[in-house]
Structure 1
Amino acid sequence: MVEELVATGAALASVGAVYMMAAARVVKQYERGVVFRLGKLRSQVREPGFTLIVPVVDRLHKVNMQIVTMPVPAQEGITRDNVTVRVDAVVYFKVVDAADALVRVEDYRFAVSQMAQTSLRSIIGKSDLDDLLSDREKLNQGLELMIDSPAIGWGVQIDRVEIKDVSLPETMKRSMARQAEAARDRRARVINADAELQASKKLAEAAQQMEATPAALQLRLLQTVVAVAAEKNSTLVLPFPVELLRFLERAAQPPAVAAAPGAVAAPGVDAAPPPASQPPAVEPLLEPDPEGSDSRQE
């Protein structure tokens, strides 16, 4: 009798051990457990930790609640300004409702991937090339809204969407490079023109200051000559002002004295000698022949 009880207890213990092994489940911290009993969804979602299910009757599905990083394959499209581009992106999403992610959609990862590709092609067709290259933050927000709207019904939340790269044709790259070079050239010319304008204003002010003192202009000229000679270490030809030569010429000449009747010469100044008188010109006189013929000497 005792042996039968021991055997029965051992059998029950074995059965209990097998049952516990079949019923015991461990849900990790980043997971949630969804139980289907005879194919019907149980309302209670199993939290992380140790849990038990009914073997053969219950099925436990573990859903990952971590943020998933999904790259979107490069999509080729035509922008609103008729430029062919290839754009690829990356989507960050996570499951917020484990039951909806299993019940409402067959494969939520594949569904999010397809929705991201179609939304990316749509956003390419609605945008200009300049927006794709410069205003990516706005496009990322629009793309996130387009994917997040249907994903909410699948128990999935889109965390963020980022456009990774925009590939352009080689001809378009060369055109953009020429455009950028022309823009830089234009800015350089504008800056040079502004500098010339400011320099001309300063030079005009300096000229007005030096106009009152001509010696300052000469000193500035000499300073420039000295600087150039010291830098180049060469022989320079110094230009001499013509006005200065005329001034020296006038200073070297004696003052002219007007010859007037009764004028007295200043002391120390010799009077100019009168011009030499010239003898009057004598015109030859020819006497006509009274007979109208030449006289002959015999």
Structure 2
Amino acid sequence: MKFLEKLAQFICRYMTLWVILISVIAFFQPAPFKPIGKYISYMLGVIMLGMGLTMSLEDFRLILTRPKDVFYGVFFRYLIMPFVGFGVAKLLGLSPALAAGMVLLGACPSGTGSNVMTYIAKGDTALSVTVSSVNTILAPVLTTYIFSFLAGAMIPIDVVALLIDIVKIVLIPVGVGVALHTAAPRLVEKLIKVVPAVSVIFIITIMSSVVALNASKMATMALILCLAVAIHNIAGLVLGYYAGRAVGMSVKKSKAVTFEIGMENSGLAVALALAHLDPMAALPGAVMTVWEYMTGSLLASYWGNKAEKETPAGEALALK
């Protein structure tokens, strides 16, 4: 078990490197990776099961003790990013498929990486975990109808099929994970040490398939795609922080909201795009997987180091 734990840590530590490496291979040699596409929804279900295993009923306690903070986190998540995605698509004049992919990315719930980044940044980790959990539970309804409202004119959307798929891919696996955590906490505590590595392996596999399926088109749109994703992500991080501060949240709480908004469940966006839209619509989610971890880790490290250097008095003042 110790060997598996060390291997899991090694895989997770260099996630960005693995994603880039395998994506480059898939770009130049797409044929072996293309058949993976039809299994992406199952792989994402495993990823969401892993997320559910890290959650417990205790994660939802803040809904009762700090309802205003949780509401702001969820409200800003589903208000800011879908409209940012829509705005970026219009600003850059993206094709209907890419535009729909940007909106879908913004309409998805926050990613699990937001919790880790909030912890590194010395933010309110408890708030981050609760907001992520609530965002995910609400995704079948909010993601479906926000995406349909904003992207319905861009590309044909089967709203019912999309809703059912999000329930199958997100809600059921997460619910099973929470139930297992509640029923067998000791077993789950052992599994948790290797579950993140399994998620990383599946994320890398998903990204390789998306790149392979779009390899012929990516060379001609790489610049505009990367620009769109960069604007989307940076706007989310900036607006997330200042939205929190604007409603009176402390710096620690605002850090949590920043990552809940700026870091997205890009894997879900990829799976839904491949299942319901043009394969090209999966590209924003694929690129975001790499980009958000780079910007998120840089910002989290900066905030974390800054908090450590502050004097007790200065820190106390900053957190008010």
User: TM-score normalised by the shorter chain: which range applies?
Assistant: under 0.3
Structure in which a larger fraction of residues adopt helix: 2
Structure in which a larger fraction of residues adopt strand: 1
TM-score, normalization by structure 2: 0.20
TM-score, normalization by structure 1: 0.21
Structure showing greater Rg: 1
Q: Which has the higher contact order (CA 8 A, sep 6+)?
A: 2
